[in-house]
Amino acid sequence: MTERKTFDEQLHEVRAEVVKLAARVTEQIGRATEAMLNGDLAMVDAVYDEHSAIKDLNRTIEELAYAIFALQQPLASDLRTLLAVLRILHELELTDGLMKNVARATRRLYPRQLSPRIRGIIERMGTQAGVQLQVAVDSFADNDAAAAAALPDMDDVMDDLQKDLFRAIFAEGAPDEGALQQAVQLSFVGRDYERAADHAVTIGRWVRFIASGVLPGHHVDDLN
C-alpha cells in the first residue's frame, strides 16, 4: 500500500511539473510576441535565456518519468499517462523552440517597423497560440478530454489568421531588398505561430489518449 502511494505521489509530481513547464512555455509565447511587436531586443535575450532553462527542466521531467517506468509497476491507465507525459514534453519543447525562432526573427527584422495591419495580425496570432496552449494544458491538468477535443476547431482560427498574414504581406509588396527580407521573415513567423497552435492540438490528442487509449493519428481519435 505504501509502495502504491509512493508511486501515486511520483506520478502526481510528474504531472504537476509538466503543468509548470507548460506555463513557462505559454509565457514564452507572450515574450516572443512582445519582442516582435515592439522590436524589443532585450526581450529577445529574455526569450533565449528562458529557452535554455526550459530545455533543462524538460530533461529533468523526462528523467523523472523514465525513473517511474524503470522502478515502478504502473497499471495500464498510468502507463498511458506516462507515455502521454513524454509526448507532451516533446510538444512543449518544440513550441518553445518555435518561440525562439520568432525572437530570432525580431533580431533579423530590427530596426524595421511593422505596418499596423501586420502588427495586428501577429498580435492576434500570438494571443491565439497562447490560448490554445493554455486550453491544452488545462485539459491535461484536469483530465478533461472534452476540452481537449475542442482544440482542432479552435485551430481553424489560427489557420485563418495565417492566411490573413500572407494576404497582408503580399498586399504590401516588396519594393526593395529590405522589404523582401522582411516579407520572408514574417512568413516564417506566421508559420511558427501556426505550428505552435498545431502542437497544442497534438497535446490535446494525447490527453484524449489518456482517457480512451486510442493513439493520436487513428481515425477513431478524431470522432467526437
Mean pLDDT (whole number) for 176-180: 86
Q: Which of 85, 183, 61 shows the shortest CA–CA distance to 137?
A: 85
pLDDT of residue 224 exceeding 50, the answer is: no
Residues 199 and 131 sit within 8 Å (Cβ to Cβ)? no
42 grid coordinates? 532585450
Domains with residue ranges and CATH for the chain: 2-222 (1.20.58.220)
pLDDT of residue 2 exceeding 90, the answer is: no
Q: What is the pLDDT of residues 141-174, one digit of tens each?
A: 999 999 999 999 999 999 999 999 999 999 998 7
Mean pLDDT (whole number) for 20-39: 98
Model-level pTM? 0.93
Residue 150 has φ and ψ, to the nearest 5°, of -80, -15
The predicted pLDDT at position 222 comes to 46
The predicted pLDDT at position 220 comes to 45
